[in-house]
């Protein structure tokens, strides 16, 4: 069984992260590392809170969880710099953030008039 350094594993996971968004099958072809190993590394990175979208998808196709991770990760950072590094648009992150805020705001009951 091949052993990979921590730096190599981290580099491979970064390949699956924005802005590269490389898919596991693509990395298997390019590196020869098994898909099981790459899926395990991706799963471990996701469990640690990293934004690693599944399947090399573009931002519009990401899961709600991945979008939420980006919103959390970008909070308090220079949005323009963050977006440039991740290959995202500031407007997209703002829209995701607003959607999560609205989803978590309790609905107000309709006021009824008393007669």
111 inside domain: no
The Cα–Cα gap between 49 and 51 comes to 7
Give the CA dihedral 92, 90, 87, 74, nearest 10 degrees: -100
40 inside domain: yes
Model confidence pLDDT, tens digit, residues 7-22? 999 999 989 887 788 8
Give the CA dihedral 43, 45, 46, 47, nearest 10 degrees: 90
109 inside domain: no
Model confidence pLDDT, tens digit, residues 68-95? 888 888 887 887 888 877 778 888 888 8
33 inside domain: yes
114 inside domain: no
% of the chain with per-residue pLDDT over 70: 87
CA 82 to each of CA 26, 54, 79: distance values in angstroms, whole numbers, following the listed order: 26, 20, 5
69 inside domain: yes
Q: How many CB atoms lie within 10 A of CB 8?
A: 13
Q: Is the pLDDT of residue 1 over 60?
A: no
Total domain count, the chain: 1
Report the predicted TM-score, pTM, of the whole model to 2 decimal places. 0.59
Residue 5: pLDDT band (50, 70, 90) is very high
């Amino acid at each position: 069984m091949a052993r990979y350094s921590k730096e190599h594993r981290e580099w491979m996971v970064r390949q699956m992260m924005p802005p590269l968004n490389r898919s596991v099958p693509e990395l298997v072809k390019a590196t020869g590392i098994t898909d099981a190993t790459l899926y395990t590394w991706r799963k471990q990175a996701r469990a640690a809170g990293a934004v690693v979208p599944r399947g090399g998808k573009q931002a519009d196709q990401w899961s709600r969880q991945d979008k939420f991770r980006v919103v959390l990760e970008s909070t308090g950072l220079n949005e323009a710099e963050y977006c440039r590094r991740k290959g995202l648009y500031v407007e997209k992150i703002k829209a995701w953030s607003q959607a999560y805020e609205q989803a978590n705001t309790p609905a107000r009951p309709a006021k009824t008039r008393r007669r």
